[in-house]
Amino acid sequence: MRFEQEDCEQVAEWLRLLTSASRQEPGCVSYIPHFVEGDTCTVLIYEQYVDEAALDHHRNAPHFHQYAVGGLYQRMRDRQLENLTAVC
């Protein structure tokens, strides 16, 4: 996700709150947000769930709607989503 420079402090706060709540979800394996080095306006979130149902639960959680849908998504300039499949 890319953001305007003036939004980065607020983005960091939303990410801290979203991360804390997301890591408490029963199906969350990992949830790690990153600012890209050398490009502090770009955020990468690596998130992993035990199954598709856990991901659906995450996307419907109140904290996701508050901090992602109502916060991050409102401020982001653009977004690229990639789904990964583990090798082993």
10-residue averages of pLDDT along the chain (88 residues) = 96 98 97 95 96 97 98 96 88
Specify the pLDDT at position 62.
Answer: 98
End-to-end CA distance of the chain: 28
Q: How many CB atoms lie within 10 A of CB 25?
A: 18
| pTM for the model | 0.91
d(CA 67, CA 1): 14
**Which CATH number applies to 5-75?**
3.30.70.100
Specify the pLDDT at position 40.
Answer: 86
Q: How many CB atoms lie within 10 A of CB 65?
A: 13
Specify the pLDDT at position 85.
Answer: 87
- Domain residue extents for the chain: 5-75
d(CA 22, CA 12): 15
